[in-house]
Amino acid sequence: MANTLAWTAKIFDGGWLDGGGGTLDVTAPADGALVATVGAADVADLDRAVAKAARVQQEWAAKPYPERASVMTKAAAILEQNPERLTRWLIPESGSSHGKAGAEVGLVLAELTEAATLASQPYGQVLRSAKSRFSVGRYVPMGVIGVISPFNFPAVLSMRSVAPALAVGNAVVLKPDPRTPISGGLVLAEILAEAGLPDGLLHVLPSGADVGAALVSHPDVPCISFTGSTAAGRRIAEAAAPLLKKVHLELGGNNAFLVLPDADIEAAASAGAWGSFLHQGQICMASGRHLVPEHLAEQYTAELAKIAARITVGDPTDPSNALGPIIDENQLKRVDSIVQATVTAGAELAAGGTFDGLYYRPTVLGNVPKDSPAFTEEIFGPVAPITTYRTVDEAIDIVNSSEYGLSVAVLTSNPFKAYELADRIRSGAVHINDQTIDDEAVAPFGGVKASGSGGHFGTTVNLETFCDLQWVTMQSDIQKYPF
């Protein structure tokens, strides 16, 4: 039975209040059932949220760092003790399998734990000066951080901005994807409130694009952290530019999975399947272009197709299903149109290419032309396009030919040789003998080219992301001047 709890946006004054935008029905992509009804925010709600956040932020920033760290530690303990508080929403809202939902909880826990340690990091450097004085560069919180997060990994892709931003002394206004407002925001806010986060520091605004646009252009929000499509990221950057905002964009990817001639093909196919099919391929880091030597392509395609054929697809509430539904009908149609157009362009359909409702079978495409949609576009579906190469130099050129540069995998029996190749690869991440999907709270994460700009996540990197660098000097006596 669907939950019809009256979840609403936590706007201000400590209550779960009805948003001015009415209500928003959250439905399960698995079967279209109503998951919950939440309050929807409007632009007036946003203005009140930002004003409240700005009022309380300075007091929060002035607290001793152990108090801020303690909130993050307690929130992690609350979630670790009862992970079902999050998984019960992740599974129906985003179509997550049980395994994916459990893994996402682990990622959220890691973000909270690392945010707690971030609060105690050295916040600057003692600098040399030509004058007889004390000179320091220190990181200071920016004020109110705007966070816009997506539907695919809604909890961790919200928390990886929310937790560090709060830990270093900011307030946050979070606009989750309207398809995942609970796991992407409301339940996170509830846990942080239980952990002792003072009222008014985190505002969750379930809403549509109008509120997102207003958040980006709000004069009292100096920093925007956005995770989503490259097209939307470009619009955000354009809107924020006249205000000279700090903008952090973690965008799309069309990530290369490079199988070198000396790789173990069975092992590579297993890694490649995970990289392309996990969470229905709805991951910016998914393996989108499998590059295989010509003489190994037939074997690799057959191995990958064999794996695809045995993967279970169905209702994600059933733990036996490895994959769930595509998020909505529009995305399914887009995935299928790319597959069909690529087959028409000459690719071999080795597995999949069919769907039942929003359940798309894991799909393997062999001999994919380099100018076909499955090769040039980010698919965001469970599709593994395979393209061949003749020489490693040619393969590197193919890797770098994409407008994206988020994550690249290199499979080989000679890891050090692959490490040397990494110098030639334009990508935010290179994973040797693994697939392209990986994320650790302690590691910097972000892309180059069309995959992102403006900073990366990661423990100490978050100081640069969510703080301003302030130069402070101090000397014993007032400096005398000749005027």
Residue positions annotated with a catalytic role? 250
Provide the token pair at 302: 């057959």
Instruction: Return d(Cα 240, Cα 310) in angstroms, integer.
Output: 47
Provide the token pair at 291: 């590059």
SS (H, E, C) the chain: CCCCCEECCCCCCCCCCCCCCCEEEEECCCCCCEEEEEECCCHHHHHHHHHHHHHHHHHHHHCCHHHHHHHHHHHHHHHHHCCHHHHHHHHHHHCCCHHHHHHHHHHHHHHHHHHHHHCCCCCEEEECCCCCCEEEEEEEECCEEEEECCCCCHHHHHHHHHHHHHHCCCEEEEECCCCCCHHHHHHHHHHHHHCCCCCCCEEECCCCHHHHHHHHHCCCCCEEEEECCHHHHHHHHHHHHHHCCEEEEECCCCEEEEECCCCCHHHHHHHHHHHHHHHHHCCCCCEEEEEEEHHHHHHHHHHHHHHHHHCCECCCCCCCCCECCCCCHHHHHHHHHHHHHHHHCCCEEEECCCEECCEECCEEEECCCCCCHHHHCCCCCCEEEEEEECCHHHHHHHHHCCCEECEEEEECCCHHHHHHHHCCCCCCEEEECCCCCCCCCCCCECCEECCEECCCECCCHHHHHHEEEEEEEECCCCCCCCC
Contact 153, 179 (CB under 8 A): no
Contact 146, 225 (CB under 8 A): yes
Provide the token pair at 427: 């990508």
Which residue, 189, 25, 12, is CA-closest to 93? 25
Instruction: Return d(Cα 447, Cα 461) in angstroms, integer.
Output: 14
Taking the mean position of all CA atoms in its chain, how far away is CA 455? 13
Tracing tokens 């690529």 back to the chain, one arrives at 342
Contact 147, 162 (CB under 8 A): yes
Provide the token pair at 130: 């030509």
Tracing tokens 């909505």 back to the chain, one arrives at 328
